[in-house]
A = this chain, B = another copy of it.
Amino acid sequence: MIVVLKHGVPEEKKIQLMNWLEGQGLRLHISNGEFQTVIGLIGDVSGIDIDLVSSLDIVDSVKRVTEPFKCCNRKFHPEDMIVEIGDVKVGGGHFVVIAGPCSVESEEQIVAVARAVKAAGADMLRGGAFKPRTSPYDFAGLKAEGLELLRIARKETGLPIVTELMNINDLPLFEDVDVIQIGARNMQNFDLLRELGTLDKPILLKRGLANTLKELLMSAEYIMANGNERVILCERGIRTFSDYTRNTLDLAAVPMLHQLTHLPVIVDPSHATGIAKLVPPMALAATAAGADGLIIEVHNDPIHALCDGAQSLLPEEFSALAEKVRSIRGVIA
């Protein structure tokens, strides 16, 4: 860590700070420049509160020399991580397509959609059994029954299942779920993340609506530091002033995350845009940007079919998209 002091700081305040830093068990490397003093801290700085030191009125700024994340840091893991779910692989050149309905509604629905997306080339099935809803009056999912229907669809198609967990106490129900999804609203539910770190199961971690890439990585770090290294990151749009889509899909996060971490990064164009017509172009764009996979909503019910589903594709639309995705993979891989 490097502490840059302000110009013209009184000598006694400087000494007070240096004594305090040494009292924390650090060695100091002082460099007196013409304009400023720079103090290099040598030793274990993990106990130093960077915000506190930054706020001292004699301090101009503080810089970490090493990133605060280790387990998910590309520097220490130069090779791409490949997460395996049965025969399915994600990362390190392996591209995954996850598809399925927003909510699991009935056996008929989930099996039909699972068959359709499998035929179109999907690798895994998604479907919500526990649904986070802004309003307490809205449908919150079929819960345990929904998980049961997903298992049936898995049995019928062989597709591994991906579904969202919201509450630590529901974990026992998720024992044979293939990939546990953590939604944007729970990205900083730290107790939940810590618990996921004790599992032997891949975690799909979605970026929060207002979270930076560093915060996303620190949340992955919570899981990995507890022993579970199988984390897949997911960009799904951030909240901005722009109002024509539900969120703003931040695709530059894909190559940037690839630079920072060895974890696979997939993209959810359905939730990011909230508009079915924008899903195919954004899915293709994510693929071209180098994403390791896509998670896409597909439905088969009549009211959606009557018109445009809010953000879901019809099976035939998904199928046409999946083919173009494969062609773009051919160009960039």
A-side residues, CB < 8 A to B, are: 2, 4, 7, 13, 16-17, 20, 29, 31, 33-36, 38, 40, 42, 46-47, 49, 51-52, 54-61, 63, 65-66, 68-69, 132-140, 166-169, 185-186, 188-191, 193-194, 208-210, 212-215, 218, 221-222, 225-226, 238-245, 248-256, 259, 272-278, 281-282, 284-290, 303-304, 306-311, 324, 327-328, 331-332
Contact of A225 among B59, B137, B278, B284 (CB under 8 A): B137
The reply to whether A308 and B250 form a contact with Cβ atoms under 8 Å apart is no
Contact B188–A134 (Cβ < 8 Å):
yes
Give the oligomeric copy count. 4
A55 touches B311 (CB 8 A): yes
B309 in contact with A68 (CB, 8 Å):
no
Report the separation of the CA atoms of residues A186 and B188 in the bound assembly, to the nearest whole angstrom: 8
The distance in angstroms between the C-alpha atoms of A81 and B289, with both chains bound, is 28
Q: Are A36 and B16 in contact (CB under 8 A)?
A: no
Q: Are A134 and B289 in contact (CB under 8 A)?
A: no
Contact, CB under 8 Å: A57 / B285: no
Show 27 A/B contacts (Cβ-Cβ < 8 Å), sorted by A: A29-B33, A31-B33, A33-B40, A33-B42, A35-B40, A36-B40, A51-B274, A52-B309, A54-B310, A56-B308, A132-B188, A136-B190, A136-B193, A140-B190, A169-B169, A212-B241, A238-B242, A238-B248, A245-B256, A249-B252, A252-B272, A252-B273, A252-B282, A254-B281, A327-B331, A328-B332, A331-B331
